[in-house]
């Protein structure tokens, strides 16, 4: 941590690298490349001497006197958006089941969902607000970009300059199509499960169905256990199948 004045504190998946790059651009005129993949990790090394960081977030480990901003997703429906982006942005596609098990170093079991859901997606990411940081909603980055910019300006205490605005706008544009697709495929399907409304998900990738289940159960141990116990190893084709596996014992 090279800087003692400005910092970013975030949990995995909350776009802390993007915020760090935006701060370095705004406050220290650092040149950041808005690369075509919309990923800020490659540029984040440039900002280490300008912007401090706490990662993962810990309210008890904030340096005294540092102005710290914490990005977070207020909507639990977006808890696994970053896991969706991980494959889309880096690889352009979702890996097959065998590759997924190898990537996560999970012993391949009897089916895709049981092994990965049980080992990787049991616990929902912690996106709670900080009591000691300036909290900024990443939901707004996609849903209300102007409000996001306004809140960013409030944190830095000045009007955003053109270079910073262009950087954020480019990132917004590069990620927006993935955000909209995630909402259409995952969030809308989760809403259908909650409303007990049938929706055809046969064409979705197994990984997308895994994200639907994970988003719906939100780390609830009982709900997850019921799905794992009742799932019959057949291909999931409809949102009501997920609902019935989870709520069969209720």
What is the spatial distance between Cα 238 and Cα 215, in angstroms, rounded to a whole number?
16
What is the gyration radius of the CA atoms in the chain, in angstroms?
20
Q: Are 117 and 104 in contact (CB under 8 A)?
A: no
Say what the pLDDT of residue 1 is: 43
Token pair listed for 209 = 């169905």
**Mean pLDDT score of the chain:** 88
Other C-beta atoms closer than 10 Å to the C-beta of 18 total 26
Residue with tokens 């977006």: 78
- Percent of residues, the chain, with pLDDT higher than 70: 90
Q: Max Cα separation, the chain? A: 58
Q: Are strands 134-137 and 67-72 parallel, antiparallel or unpaired?
A: parallel
Q: pTM higher than 0.75, yes or no? A: yes
Q: Is the pLDDT of residue 40 over 80?
A: no
Q: Is the pLDDT of residue 241 over 50?
A: yes
For the stretch 189-215, pLDDT in tens is: 999 999 999 999 999 998 899 999 999
Q: Are 68 and 133 in contact (CB under 8 A)?
A: yes
What is the spatial distance between Cα 137 and Cα 71, in angstroms, rounded to a whole number?
6
What is the spatial distance between Cα 16 and Cα 68, in angstroms, rounded to a whole number?
11
Top-confidence residue, 13 or 19 = 19
For the stretch 110-119, pLDDT in tens is: 667 777 777 7
């Amino acid at each position: 941590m090279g800087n003692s004045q400005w910092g970013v504190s975030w949990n995995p998946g909350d776009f802390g690298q993007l915020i760090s790059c935006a701060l370095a651009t705004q406050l220290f005129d650092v040149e950041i490349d808005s690369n075509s993949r919309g990923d800020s990790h490659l540029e984040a090394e440039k900002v280490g001497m300008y912007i401090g960081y706490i990662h993962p977030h810990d309210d008890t480990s904030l340096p005294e006197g540092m102005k710290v901003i914490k990005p977070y997703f207020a909507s639990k429906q977006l808890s696994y958006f970053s896991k969706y982006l991980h494959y889309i942005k880096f690889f352009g596609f979702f890996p097959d089941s065998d590759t997924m098990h190898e990537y996560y170093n999970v012993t391949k079991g009897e089916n895709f969902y049981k092994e990965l859901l049980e080992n990787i997606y049991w616990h929902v990411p912690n996106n709670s607000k900080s009591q000691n940081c300036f909290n900024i909603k990443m939901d707004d980055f996609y849903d209300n970009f102007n409000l996001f910019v306004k809140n960013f300006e409030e944190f830095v205490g000045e009007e955003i300059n053109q270079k910073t605005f262009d950087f954020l706008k480019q990132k917004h544009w590069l990620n927006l199509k993935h955000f909209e697709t995630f909402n259409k495929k995952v969030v809308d399907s989760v809403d259908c499960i909650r409303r007990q409304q049938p929706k055809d998900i046969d064409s979705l990738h197994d990984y997308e169905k895994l994200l639907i289940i994970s988003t719906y159960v939100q780390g609830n141990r009982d709900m997850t256990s019921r799905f794992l116990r009742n799932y019959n190893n057949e291909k999931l084709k409809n949102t009501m199948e997920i609902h019935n596996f989870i709520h069969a014992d209720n």
